[in-house]
């Protein structure tokens, strides 16, 4: 069975949203887009978890999507984060993303209100019927408080414009079920699980670490794709400690923003309730960056 959503295979970078003195730094955002284009990244995902979407106003959220789409100007695909726990709000944000030229929309499972399986299905069906844009589901129960079970995902996958899923349950069993039950393009939602996921039929990653080392993640994907498993494993182990620190030292995107600050790529500024890394964790991160060869 051919997969839908093959246009989203490869490396999608979950972009940080740069802030300066409390405001979105639009010039810095454009520079990030240019840099990712130069690195060969396949797709950008603005205003997801890594983009601190929960603390952006609706106006800022739309503005970030508009800037990324306009500045990408067809040079790189854009999968805009427009999910919500309000179906109507998700529809409105997705309409906006389509109007500014997004190639697809990432739709997180509705968080906090914990819908039933039927609720999940009707939510995504309503968005799909309202806006003709490819939908990438995003299942991250650690943040949403409710797992979308494989049988529910299989039902949602029958909706024609639902084409892919960002699988961030951390469960290879669940990922295996999704791959076997659906024709969705399955993307890793955990950098350190990318290679295991590829081995069961995954087709790429929506990456946090790609904010700083996109070429290395592209190298892992290319090695696997060409059948060079030994090289793919070498890249996996090289990236592994960096990935663990970026997602393990503190809540995402606190460590990646700290890393970008240490590398001179971002102010490192976050919005409350996100707070900077502790001095101890920052020195651990510094060691990891040095060990990796980035500093």
Each residue of 43-57: pLDDT tens digit? 999 999 999 999 999
The answer to whether position 136 is within a domain reads yes
Q: Which helix (H) or strand (E) holds 14?
A: strand 10-14
What six digits make up the tokens of 90? 């998700």
What's the token pair of residue 212?
């700083």
Q: Is the pLDDT of residue 1 over 70?
A: no
Please check whether residue 132 lies inside any domain of the structure: yes
When pLDDT is averaged across residues 49-78 and rounded to a whole number, the result is 98
CA-derived radius of gyration, the chain: 18
Domain-located, residue 46: yes
Mean pLDDT of 76-93: 98
271 backbone dihedrals φ, ψ, rounded to 5°: -110, 140
CA distance 243 to 290: 14
- Residue among 144, 218, 226, 154 nearest 186 (CA): 154
Judge contact between 91 and 125, C-beta under 8 A: no
Of 77, 98, 138, 257, which is the active-site residue? 138
| Catalytic site includes residue 166 | yes
Q: pLDDT per residue over 233-253, tens digit each?
A: 999 999 999 999 988 999 999
Q: Which of 4, 77, 146, 166 is catalytic?
A: 166
Cα 15 to Cα 81, 208, 257: the distances in Å are: 10, 7, 10
Question: Is residue 237 in a domain?
Answer: no
Instruction: Decide if 221 is inside a domain.
Output: no
Q: Is 111 a catalytic residue?
A: no
User: How many angstroms separate the CA atoms of 95 and 66, rounded?
Assistant: 12
CATH number assigned to the domain comprising residue 167: 3.20.20.70
How many domains, the chain? 1
- Which pLDDT belongs to residue 3? 83
pTM: 0.98
Percentage of the chain surpassing pLDDT 70?
100
Residue 117 lies in a domain: yes
Domain region containing 67: 6-213
């Amino acid at each position: 069975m051919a997969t839908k959503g093959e246009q989203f295979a490869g490396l999608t970078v979950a972009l940080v949203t740069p802030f300066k003195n409390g405001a979105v730094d639009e010039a810095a955002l454009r520079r990030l887009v240019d840099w990712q284009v130069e690195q060969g990244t396949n797709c950008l995902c603005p205003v997801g978890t890594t983009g601190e979407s929960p603390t952006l106003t609706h106006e800022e959220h739309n503005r970030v999507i508009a800037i990324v789409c306009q500045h990408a100007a067809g040079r790189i695909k854009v999968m805009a984060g427009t999910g919500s726990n309000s179906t109507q709000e998700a529809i409105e944000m997705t309409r906006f993303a389509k109007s500014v030229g997004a190639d697809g929309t990432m739709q997180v499972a509705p968080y906090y209100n914990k819908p039933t399986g039927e609720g999940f299905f009707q939510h995504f069906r309503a968005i799909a019927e309202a806006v003709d844009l490819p939908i990438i589901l995003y299942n991250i129960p650690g943040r949403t408080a409710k797992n979308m079970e494989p049988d529910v995902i299989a039902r949602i996958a029958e909706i024609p414009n639902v084409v892919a899923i960002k699988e961030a349950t951390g469960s290879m069993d669940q990922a295996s079920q999704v791959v076997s039950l659906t024709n969705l393009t399955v993307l890793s939602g955990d950098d350190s699980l990318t290679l295991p996921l590829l081995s069961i039929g995954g087709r790429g990653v929506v990456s946090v670490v790609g904010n700083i080392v996109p070429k290395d993640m592209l190298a892992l994907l290319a090695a696997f794709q060409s059948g060079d498993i030994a090289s793919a494993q070498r890249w996996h182990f090289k990236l592994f400690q960096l990935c663990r620190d970026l997602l393990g030292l503190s809540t995402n995107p606190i460590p990646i923003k700290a890393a970008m600050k240490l590398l001179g790529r971002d102010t490192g500024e976050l919005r409350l309730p996100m707070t900077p890394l502790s001095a101890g964790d920052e020195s651990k991160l510094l060691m990891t960056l040095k060990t990796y060869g980035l500093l």
